[in-house]
């Protein structure tokens, strides 16, 4: 039985190597849901669907929550599971502050075309940002980018070398290799290479930064958020939420979570 299991494991690892390291990263990184979505006629009145075509010709369907009279926009990049429709309560809560909100989708998630990959979700983020600038007429200095968990990698990649209103990172990972180790993937973590390298890219941040992380996060360790914060050279704030995990920040620790976000959004 042990020999059979070991042989199977070797065959699986060999197939991953044969298909390339990027395939390994994508296999473990993304868990999209294309089934549990909300029909357009059932969306709240303040929510609109927008379909954006990326530079590699993939159509992604995101959510836009306009706020009449506001020139400010927050773009939200969610975690690796589910889809943007599952984040509707959070998007509606963010809108209460008076900002326009885009809940960005990724390829392969929800109603969006394609299959997710690291390179692909960066293109998705770029397309949403360009749409905000070119089609919705927002200026960079009035845009906040918020990325949660794996969404932090899109947010950091996109925020590089831009003068934004700010960048918010919730439970951000440092890089793919360290995340793989933290997830118990052992030898497979070596195949991550330089994937999802927030730690290096944060050097290129020119905008104010807010990092929020729970001390009991068992998915993305608290130390990763600390490492990114410590590396950043810009104006920055770190919010440590004692006792919070990865998935309970928004509800179980709502005051500790939402208050600094709203304060950061309202600054300046």
pTM of the model: 0.90
Among this protein's residues, is 217 annotated catalytic? yes
Among this protein's residues, is 165 annotated catalytic? no
Among this protein's residues, is 149 annotated catalytic? yes
CB-based contact 101:138 (threshold 8 Å): no
Q: What's the rounded Cα separation, in Å, for the pair 216 and 69?
A: 40
Q: Which domains does the chain have, with CATH numbers?
A: 2-266 (3.40.50.1820)
| pLDDT for residue 176 | 81
Catalytic residue (one of 78, 86, 165, 246): 246
Give the dihedral of Cα atoms 49, 54, 57, 62; nearest 10 deg.
Answer: -20
Catalytic residue (one of 149, 152, 189, 207): 149
Q: Could you tell me where the beta strands, DSSP code E, fall in the chain?
A: 31-32, 48-53, 59-65, 73-77, 81-82, 100-104, 143-148, 166-170, 209-214, 236-241
pLDDT along the chain (268 residues), means of 10: 44 46 67 96 97 98 96 97 97 96 98 96 98 98 98 98 98 87 60 80 98 96 97 98 96 97 92
| pLDDT for residue 190 | 56
């Amino acid at each position: 039985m042990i020999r059979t299991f070991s042989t199977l494991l070797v065959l699986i690892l060999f197939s991953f190597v044969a298909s390339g390291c990027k395939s390994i990263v994508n296999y473990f990184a993304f868990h999209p849901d294309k089934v549990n979505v909300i029909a357009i006629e059932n969306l709240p009145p303040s929510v609109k669907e927008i379909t954006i075509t990326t530079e590699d010709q993939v159509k992604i369907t995101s959510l836009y929550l306009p706020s009449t009279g506001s020139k400010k926009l927050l773009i939200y990049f969610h975690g690796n599971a589910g889809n943007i429709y599952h984040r509707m309560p959070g998007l509606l809560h963010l809108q209460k502050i008076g900002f326009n909100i885009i809940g960005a989708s990724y390829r392969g998630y929800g109603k969006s075309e394609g299959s997710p990959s690291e390179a692909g979700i960066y293109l998705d983020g770029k397309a949403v940002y360009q749409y905000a600038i070119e089609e919705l007429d927002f200026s960079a200095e009035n845009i906040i980018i918020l990325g949660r968990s794996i969404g932090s990698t899109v947010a950091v990649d996109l925020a590089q070398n831009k003068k934004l209103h700010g960048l918010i990172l919730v439970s951000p990972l440092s890089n793919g290799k360290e995340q793989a180790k933290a997830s118990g993937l052992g030898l497979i973590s070596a195949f991550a290479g330089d994937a999802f390298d927030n730690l290096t890219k944060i050097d290129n941040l020119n905008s104010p930064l807010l990092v929020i992380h729970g001390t009991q996060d068992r998915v993305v360790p608290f130390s990763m958020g600390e490492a990114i914060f410590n590396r950043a050279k810009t104006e920055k704030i770190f919010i440590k939420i004692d006792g919070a995990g990865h998935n309970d920040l928004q509800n179980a620790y709502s005051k500790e979570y939402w208050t600094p976000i709203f304060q950061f959004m309202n600054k300046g």
